[in-house]
Amino acid sequence: MLPWKKELLTLLMLSLLFVLAGCGIRHAEETEAAGATPAAVRETETEPASPTPQDAGGEAEADADLMSHSDFLAAEEDSPVTVECFVQAKDAWNDGLCSLYAQDEEGAYYLPRLRCSQSEYEKLEIGRKIRVKGYKGHWNDSVEIAEASFQLLDGKRIAEARDVTAMIGTDELSLHQNEKVCFRGMTIEAMPDGTSVWYYGWDNSAPAGEETERYFRASCGGTVCDFTVKPALCPNAEEVLQTLQRLQVGDRVDLTGFLRFYNGALPRITEIAPADGF
- Listing DSSP states for 138-162 in one string gives EETTEEEEEEEEEEEEEEE--PPPE
CA atoms within 13 A on the CB side of 59: 4
Just give the CATH number of 162-274: 2.40.50.140
Q: What is residue 224's three-state secondary structure?
A: strand
Say what the pLDDT of residue 7 is: 53
* pLDDT at residue 258 greater than cutoff 90: yes
Residue 8 scores a pLDDT above 80: no
Residue 62, pLDDT above cutoff 80: no
Asked whether this chain's domains 60-156 and 162-274 adopt the same fold, the reply is: yes
Q: What is the pTM of this model?
A: 0.77
The class of domain 60-156 in CATH terms is: mainly beta
DSSP three-state, residue 247? coil
Residue 24 scores a pLDDT above 70: no
Residue ranges of domains in the chain: 60-156, 162-274
Question: What digits encode the pLDDT tens for the residues 170-187?
Answer: 999 999 999 999 999 999
